[in-house]
Structure 1
Amino acid sequence: MPRNAADFLVETLIDWGIDTIFGLPGDGINGVMEAIRTRQDKLRFIQVRHEETAAFMACAHAKWTGRIGCCLATSGPGGIHLLNGLYDAKLDRAPVLAITGLQYHDMLESFTQQDVDLDKLFQDVSIYNTRIMSAAHIGKAVELACRSALARRGVAHLTLPVDVQEETLEEASPSPRNKPHPAGMRAAEGLLLPRPEDLDRAAALLNDASRVAILAGRGALGATAELERCADLLGAPVAKALLGKAVMADDHALTTGGIGLYGTFGTHRAMAGCDALLIIGSTFPYVEYYPQPGQARAVQIDRDAQHIGLRHPAEVGLVGDAKAVLEELNARLKRKADRSFLADCQKEARRWREVLAAGLTPPRTPMHPGAPLAVLSRRLTADAVVVTDSGHNTGLTARYLDLGPSHAFGVSGLLASMSCGLPYAMAAALAFPGRPVFAVVGDGGLAMQLGELATAVRYRLPVKLLVIKNNTLGQIKWEQILFLGNPEYECDLQPIDFAKAAEAVGAQGFSVSEPGALEERMQAWMAAPGPAVLEVAVDPNEPLLPAVVSETYRKHLEKALEAGTAGAEALKAALRRLPAKAMMEAK
């Protein structure tokens, strides 16, 4: 039986099915830590080295499992450290519960140590946020927090003064209106479906169009068969937003691959030529890669009505679960006899893959950054889990690593935060014991959370980190050049020997710089027991370009190279090689 507020809190979390908490002990949460310690048979505590990692892991846990991810941090700086990972959960709509400590309730806002009003600080990131000031408040607050996180798919935050954590239930005096009302809800039940007349309107629009394209995102995961059926009926090429990479196999005949900066020739042709667009479970943010205004009528499927028409005007919005909605919509669609638009986009998609492959041959030193991804792609088993960090490594993964519905894929989506790769991988290893887990990270992002390799060692998590080492912030470098036409500035990084860093904390470390040794070193890395790092030294000058470089970007590129960008001649030489040469020439 719970004896105090912290016990009641933890017991309620267990009742809600929370079995793992990610965090770092601190004196502002000692009461909660004791309640967890005495319930180790029901609740697993994963100690991290930085609270930001705890929040990233809670977010990733929620994405991997669909259940509430929970993180815990002490008062003041501990709670502040959670925010980046919690914004990741907010923007990607992952159900997360954050619990933080506060100083003694009668010392708050008196300039005492670590006196930070965390409930005020968390107002923007949270969909439910409250300060618990009595053991009598625990039941309702925790129930509402968990219910809100699940129902509204976001971050709930509870913060407790350190002395309230120790308050016994007998000491608490509930108000006359505070009656126990146990919550029956654990998750949303039933599937929301659009009105039949809206489905009819959507089908009529798509049936009348002659060149339909589909954009599928994370919301389409779990609806692969229905998506494939829809695309086949409409003769529609399927472009995939990054979070939807695994919704359809990358080598499937109906997909053109990624979109945006990580897009392909096929996707560019689809978006530039379609007269109707079906958006399924995506809020891909870069509107410049959608069809031009007035070009294409649109139907959008999303479980959240707030997202309808957010990026592209939607003539018909269908609110509901993608799988269920597509089943209803497919029953109303007519199979298009004219497949010429699909065939044209497929031809461009094949040409894209041929250009990428040609750019890797012959092998060269310094190594093409896509080379290790291409080797890993050939070696992945069907049950592999892949995560990536944010940066140049993300684009390489999007383009050179083939995934499909049997895989699981994760990344910080709308937040696109660096340093997410290792935390996501560790959360995957905990959520999917027995499945191989790979993280593709850059030397910039991994350096931010390098100490968390010790966490992977502590819990014997068999994560495999592929470090793309170019000693530069590659994506930022090319954004400086392409977006504004400015010379690269302060993107070079002080080199770190990540293989030795891995060994220093008890993991295994491998490194390779010669293409001829890549296969052998990768085989040893993949076979290594426990956590292991493979550092691959790659060409820092390989461009990160969209599949079709706009005239604006061409002018910016020319301006930046002539204005003093370091290593301009090497960059110009890289632009003359495949695949960059083909991107620069594409229309």
Structure 2
Amino acid sequence: MKEIVGESLARRLVEWGVDTIFGLPGDGINGLMEGFRRQREKLRFVLVHHEEAAAFMATGYAKATGRLGVCAATSGPGAIHLLNGLYDAKLDHVPVLALTGMQETSVLGTYYQQEVHLDRLYQDVAGYNLMITNPRQLPGVVDLAVRTALSRRTVSHLTFPNDVQVAAVTEDPYRHVGPGSPPDSLPTFSRPPLRPAEEDLARAAEVLRAGERVAMLVGVGARHARGEVLAVAERLASPIVKTLPGKLVVPDDHPLTTGGLGLLGTAPSEELMEECDTLLMVGTSFPYGKYLPPDGQARVVQIDDEPSLVGMRRPTEAPVAADAKLALQQLLPMLEPASDRSFLTKYQRKMDAWRADMKALQNPSRDPIAPQYLISCVDEAAGDDAVLTCDSGTIATWAARHWTIRGGREFYLSGNLATMAPGLPYAIAVQHAFPGRQVIAFVGDGGFAMLMADFLTAVRHELPIKVVINNNNSYGQILWEQIILGYPEYAVRHRQPEADFSSWARGCGAFGAKVKEPGDLPDAIRRAFAHPGPALVDCDVNPNEPPMPGKVKYEQAKAFTEAFLRGQPHKAAILATVARDKISELRS
């Protein structure tokens, strides 16, 4: 049997260490699917229900493992569906390879059915982007695509016309000189850690030693440097602020951290940014500049292994282009222990008060069920090695503030793209990559409904993910954004009847529980987590619970009030909820 291009592709991916492809077949990739079939003993194809989910799964797989995520889709609409998940990979800097189909070369340009020129469509999202036109291009261009994705931590895209997919890999219809013969076996590919320049570290140490009120802001680029982050913070007596994607870097109950920053962050983190005179940024180019110290207030040191991102948000006096772990290891001996720890002590007291306020909002007696109580039940029941995946929206607020990073726990969501719907496919991919770990998708009803068919994918592949749905029957984040902007809410709440996603779970052959009363919640969560297969808990929560910023500014309060004066349709319920929240905090 002759080796076709589809098989050559599959074989080369196996040689690169790829063992899984997430995707949905179609007549535009039948040749690729045949190649995957011929390598099925080494290359697993995970069939999904929607191509967007396949791209999210590839992205979640890459985020959790650090390896290349691979997804595949047919020509035209199938490939178009991949884009949202691929942009998630691009914006969060993780390596993903997208494989798509294209019409036969003889009909290109004739307005053929589903003729979408994907190499043009993918120009923005892909760092390496090519339509294969000659079988002899393989496996060389596969190597280039994989190397680009891994080295630049970005998306690569290869699209294959149907006739090329099934052509013999040795064919050369144009009799051109080939690019050379790539090696039959590949060395292990890795991106070596970027080492800091000594003069950059010396300048950074000089700035940090001069600081009296030093704060650290750490992102997911420091996820492998927990010990070094904590050691430097202890040496500087510096509070540690975390970005949302960087939540897993430092335990949430550690006395050095003040939690997150931004709309979903904590009041102590926001206040210390307003007071610090020196800021050490590690592994982040935090995009929300309004939460950073204003220009001129603080001297900035930034460590990042992507030089183009250094100094992007604030004038940076001491830029260090380097791997976070290596840079902090070498920086630590250059720093003297802080003699004045009053700045840290002040914010430790503030953080103690903030934690007490958050604990008060987890009150089990509140009815309707408070979303803070829901996530607290998840937090209590989950193991110390659990992985929580999350959607964007109000759901991210509750996870950011009430999911506790401790032990080996991890946390993944769509960071810079902040798209809805990745929570479920992320969980499927992470569970596939780590079958022995507890994986929980904490999602909203809006995000789950978008790709809920792929819960069936988890069942069919016997992946014991746990899905917990924060069901407020609305697009909650959009609702509150409308109010904060000074508008009465409009078109963000679903009409009755409310969805019961637990019936879908049971229909799929999985565990499903619907919770409407707070007293039933802890047991439902425990039973779901104890179930040996996929499980889902659909919990109705208070739809009028506001995801309040850590520190409410005057302009936000003013807009909130004006929206009510214009005739907010649910003003009584919202005001009652806000009042109950405040009472709970005062009682703590």
TM-score (norm. length: structure 1): 0.97
Q: In the alignment, what sits opposite 2:302?
A: 300
* Pair 1:521 & 2:520 matched: no
Q: Which amino acid aligns with 1:496?
A: A
Which of 243, 246, 249 is equivalent to 2:245? 243
DSSP 3-state at the match of 2:192:
coil
In structure 2, what is the equivalent of residue 117 of structure 1?
117
The 8 Å contact of residues 212 and 276 in structure 1, kept in 2 or not, is answered as yes
In the aligned structure 1, how far is the partner of 2:430 from the partner of 2:583? 34
Distance 1:580 1:81, change over 3 A: farther
Residue 425 (str. 1) matches residue 463 (str. 2): no
SS in 2 for 1:142: helix
1:487 is matched with 488
Q: Distance in 1 between matches of 2:311 and 2:566?
A: 41
Counterpart in 1 of 2:413? 411
Secondary structure of 2:90's partner? Answer: helix
- 493 and 508 in structure 1: CA distance in 2 versus 1, 3 angstrom threshold: same
SS at structure 2 position matched to 1:279: strand
Out of 285, 290, 293, the residue aligned to residue 291 of structure 1 is 293
**Structure 1 unaligned runs (5+)?**
none
Task: Give 1:225 shift.
Answer: 0.5
The answer to whether residue 158 in structure 2 is matched with residue 175 in structure 1 is no
Equivalent residue, structure 2, for 1:38: 38
Instruction: Give me the whole-angstrom Cα distance separating, in 2, the residues matched to 1:278 and 1:405.
Output: 25
2:279 aligns to what SS in structure 1? strand
- Of 542, 550, 554, the residue aligned with 2:553 is 550
- Kindly indicate whether the alpha-carbon contact (under 8 Å) linking 2:150 and 2:191 is maintained by their aligned counterparts in 1: no
- The answer on 1:353 being equivalent to 2:355 is yes
Partner of 2:73: 73
Amino acid corresponding to residue 542 of structure 1 in structure 2: E
Distance in 1 of aligned mates of 2:329 and 2:583: 41
Matches within 5 A, 1:16-415: 16-173=16-173, 175-182=176-183, 186-361=188-363, 363-404=365-406, 406-415=408-417
How much does 1:142 deviate? 0.5
**How far apart in 2 are the matches of 1:251 and 1:189?**
33
Q: Deviations over 1:139-159 (max 9, x none)?
A: 221110001001111000000
Q: 1:361 to 1:139 in 2, by over 3 A?
A: closer
Determine if contact 2:221/2:284 at 8 Å carries over to the other structure.
yes
Moved more, 188-197 or 57-66: 188-197
Matched AA of 2:489: E
Cα deviation per residue 1:180-224 (whole Å; 9 max; x = unaligned)? 143956433532122111101101101100000011110010101
Judge conservation of contact 2:137–2:178 (CA < 8 Å) in 1.
no
What code does the residue aligned with 2:125 have?
A: V
Rounded to whole Å, the distance in 2 between the matches of 1:338 and 1:267 is: 20
The answer on 1:510 being equivalent to 2:516 is: no
Q: Render the CA deviation track for 1:336-357: whole Å, top value 9, x for unaligned.
A: 0101000111111111110111
Deviates more, 1:133-142 or 1:83-92: 133-142
Q: In the alignment, is residue 435 of structure 1 matched against residue 437 of structure 2?
A: yes
Aligned-pair RMSD on alpha carbons?
A: 1.6
553 and 581 in structure 1: CA distance in 2 versus 1, 3 angstrom threshold: farther
Matched-pair contact (CA < 8 Å) for 2:196–2:323: no
Structure 2: distance between partners of 1:580 and 1:274: 32
Q: Would the aligned equivalents of 1:276 and 1:297 in 2 still touch at CA under 8 Å?
A: yes
What residue identity is the alignment partner of 1:32?
L
Whole-angstrom CA distance in 1 between matches of 2:170 and 2:435: 42
Distance 1:345 1:562, change over 3 A: same
Equivalent pairs, count: 582
1:496 paired residue number: 499
Over residues 270-324 of structure 1, what are the superposed CA-to-partner deviations in whole Å (9 max), with x where a residue is unaligned? Answer: 2111000011111222111111221111101111011111222211111111111
Which residue number corresponds to residue 573 of structure 1? 576
Cα distance in 1 between the residues matched to 2:278 and 2:272? 10
Deviates more, 1:209-218 or 1:527-536: 527-536
Query: Structure 1 segments of 4 or more deviating over 4 A?
Result: 183-186, 579-583
Stretches of structure 2 lacking an aligned partner (at least 5 in a row): none
CA contact (8 A) 1:224 1:248 kept: yes
Provide Cα deviations, 1:398-419, integer angstroms capped at 9, x if missing partner.
1111013511211111001101
Cα distance in 2 between the residues matched to 1:105 and 1:540: 53
Please say if residues 193 and 325 of structure 1, whose CA atoms lie closer than 8 Å, have aligned partners that are also in contact.
yes
Change (3 A) 1:223 1:125: same
1:360 to partner: Cα distance: 2.9
Q: Distance in 1 between matches of 2:177 and 2:443?
A: 55
1:580 to partner: Cα distance: 9.0
State whether residues 241 and 257 of structure 2, in contact with CA within 8 Å, keep that contact through their aligned partners in structure 1. yes
Could you tell which deviates more after superposition, 386-395 or 173-182?
Answer: 173-182
Q: In the alignment, residue 351 of structure 2 is paired with which amino acid?
A: A
SS in 2 for 1:176: coil
* Cα distance in structure 2, aligned partners of 1:189 and 1:405: 27
Q: Give the distance between the partners of 2:403 and 2:277, measured in 1 at CA.
A: 30
Q: Deviations over 1:467-495 (max 9, x none)?
A: 0011111111111111x211111110242
Q: Secondary structure at the match of 1:260?
A: coil
Correspondence 1:441-452 to 2 at 5 A? 441-452=443-454
Instruction: Tell me how far apart the structure 2 counterparts of residues 449 and 71 of structure 1 sit (CA, whole Å).
Output: 16
Residue 246 of structure 1 deviates from its aligned partner by 1.2
Structure 1 CA distance for aligned equivalents of residues 583 and 219 of structure 2: 27
- 2:176 alignment partner AA: S
Q: 1:578 is paired with a residue of what secondary structure?
A: helix
Q: In 2, Cα distance between the equivalents of 1:312 and 1:574?
A: 38
Residue 331 of structure 1 deviates from its aligned partner by 1.4
Counterparts of 1:39 and 1:542, CA distance in 2: 51
**Displacement after TM superposition at 1:383 (Å):** 1.2
Is residue 248–residue 405 contact of structure 1 (8 Å, CA) maintained in 2?
A: no
Structure 2: which amino acid aligns with 1:151?
Answer: S
The whole-number CA distance in structure 1 between the counterparts of 2:114 and 2:193 is 45
Asked if the contact 1:256/1:349 (under 8 Å) is kept, the reply is yes
Distance, in Å, in 2 between the alignment partners of 1:281 and 1:252 is 19
Once the two structures are TM-superposed, the CA of residue 109 in structure 1 deviates from its matched residue by 1.7
Check the 8 A contact 1:22/1:71 in 2, yes or no. Answer: yes
- Which secondary structure state, in structure 2, belongs to the residue aligned with residue 262 of structure 1? coil
Q: Secondary structure at the match of 2:334?
A: coil
Give SS of 1:555's match: helix
Identity, in percent, stands at 45
Moved more, 309-318 or 142-151: 309-318
Letter in 2 for 1:417: T
Report how far residue 566 of structure 1 moved: 1.6
Structure 2 SS opposite 1:93: coil
CA contact (8 A) 1:370 1:396 kept: yes
Counterpart of 1:6 in 2: which secondary structure? helix
1:465-476 counterparts in 2 under 5 A?
465-476=467-478
2-structure distance, mates of 1:43, 1:131: 23
